[in-house]
Chain A
Amino acid sequence: MNPFSLSGKTILVTGASSGIGRAIAVVCANMGATLFITGRNIERLTETFTLMNGSGHQQLPSDLTVEEELQSLVSLLPPLDGMVSNAGILKSLVFKSVEKNDLNEIMQINTFAPIHLTRLLVQQKKLIKGASLVFISSINGNNCASVGSSLYAASKCALNGFIKGIALELAPRFIRVNCINPGMIETGLMKKSLFGSLEYENDVAKYPLKRYGKPEEVAYATVYLLSEASQWVTGTSLVIDGGYTIL
């Protein structure tokens, strides 16, 4: 038995309509998992769905920041072997431009929604014994910061704290909880952001491995954390950043 196989596992992936989430859904399907994918954009979620190999997958479009939609999503889920919380937004705002709503929006999407989703999965006993939860966080806020990223950093860093607390509380049922902290990944989100484009060439040059990451390079790490290969790994954060934070 390949310890990295996801065969027979049922896994929820949020933010699966594009970028890293789409790569995670496609790679996990290739590794044998049965997937429930969710995202806000129905059209793009369907595109992800058509890219996935295997059978038995389901797509459940929803906006996790809307209480009723979150409740309804969780009620439709079977018991899970794994969950990848990936949905998130990137906002490039210098701190002096920040308004109250900017903070509310980014915390709702990047922090509160993943925590409430986890809360409902736990309270409604949707996680089987030995399940694995993976949160896509960032090096930003945890290992470094960049100009215009203070709110994003706060929203992501909160996740890394959160997972330590629940890793302890869920350990009696051997449910493992980990974060992945990627550096800059080439996605639509990155390309649309000012923070990605303002100093693109200069920024790429700062990476020892001389390029930004690819979505599938984050997906491969989720396979490890979801699989039996990482059975003794919990409460930790895996940095995947082309060496950016060594310097």
Chain B
Amino acid sequence: MSIDEFLKNFADQFDETDASLIKPDTRFRDIDEWSSLNALAVLNMIGKKYKVIITADELRRINTIKELYDLVISKKSVK
């Protein structure tokens, strides 16, 4: 799983946000369209595409998309 693919899957959860704004160092809470609905959509996407459960608490502790990607990778390697 590459980070480029992850960025694309992340961007797919948004309807009004240009994919070019979704970069590794993007702080996801700064995305205008970010909401609890999109947060849940991102967690659902990670569950379905990467078979990893990220909890709301874990999401709360990180800020950038790269950090989220790293968390998914680290949880996948534990499995």
Which A residues form the contact surface with B (CB < 8 A)?
Answer: 92-94, 96-97, 99, 147-148, 194-195, 197-200
Query: Is B39 a contact partner of A97 (Cβ separation < 8 A)?
Result: no
Tell me, rounded to whole Å, the shortest Cβ–Cβ distance linking A113 to chain B. Answer: 24
B43 to chain A: which residues have CB within 8 Å?
A: 194, 198
- In angstroms, Cα B44 to Cα A117, docked, is 32
Query: Is B41 a contact partner of A198 (Cβ separation < 8 A)?
Result: no
A selection of 22 A-B contacts at a CB cut-off of 8 Å is A92-B40, A93-B40, A93-B44, A94-B37, A94-B44, A97-B41, A97-B45, A97-B48, A147-B37, A148-B44, A194-B40, A194-B43, A194-B55, A195-B40, A197-B56, A197-B57, A198-B36, A198-B39, A198-B40, A198-B43, A198-B56, A200-B56
Given the interface pairs A197-B56, A198-B56, the reply to whether A99 lies near B48 with Cβ below 8 Å is: yes
Contact with A along B55-67 (1 / 0, CB 8 A): 1110000000000
Given contact pairs A194-B40, A195-B40, A198-B43, a sample of 11 additional A-B residue pairs in the complex whose CB atoms are under 8 Å apart:
A93-B40, A93-B44, A94-B44, A96-B13, A147-B36, A147-B37, A148-B40, A194-B55, A197-B57, A198-B56, A199-B36
* A-B interface pairs (CB < 8 A), number: 38
Given the interface pairs A94-B37, A147-B36, A147-B37, the reply to whether A197 lies near B55 with Cβ below 8 Å is: yes
Q: By DSSP majority rule, is chain B's interface helix, strand, loop, or mixed?
A: helix
- In angstroms, Cα B41 to Cα A95, docked, is 9
Of all chain B residues, the one with the shortest Cβ separation from A197 is B56
Tell me, rounded to whole Å, the shortest Cβ–Cβ distance linking A202 to chain B. Answer: 8
Tell me, rounded to whole Å, the shortest Cβ–Cβ distance linking B17 to chain A. Answer: 15
- In angstroms, Cα B14 to Cα A96, docked, is 11
B44 to chain A: which residues have CB within 8 Å?
A: 92-94, 97, 148, 194
Of all chain B residues, the one with the shortest Cβ separation from A98 is B44
Of all chain B residues, the one with the shortest Cβ separation from A202 is B36
B56 to chain A: which residues have CB within 8 Å?
A: 194, 197-200
Of all chain B residues, the one with the shortest Cβ separation from A94 is B41
- In angstroms, Cα B48 to Cα A200, docked, is 23
- In angstroms, Cα B57 to Cα A194, docked, is 10
Of all chain A residues, the one with the shortest Cβ separation from B54 is A194
- In angstroms, Cα B35 to Cα A148, docked, is 13
B45 to chain A: which residues have CB within 8 Å?
A: 97
Query: Is B36 a contact partner of A96 (Cβ separation < 8 A)?
Result: no
Query: Is B55 a contact partner of A94 (Cβ separation < 8 A)?
Result: no
- In angstroms, Cα B48 to Cα A96, docked, is 12
Instruction: Give B29-49 interface residues, CB cut-off 8 Å to A.
Output: 36-37, 39-41, 43-45, 48
Partner of B41, one of A96, A99, A197, A200: A96
Tell me, rounded to whole Å, the shortest Cβ–Cβ distance linking B36 to chain A. Answer: 6
Query: Is B48 a contact partner of A94 (Cβ separation < 8 A)?
Result: no
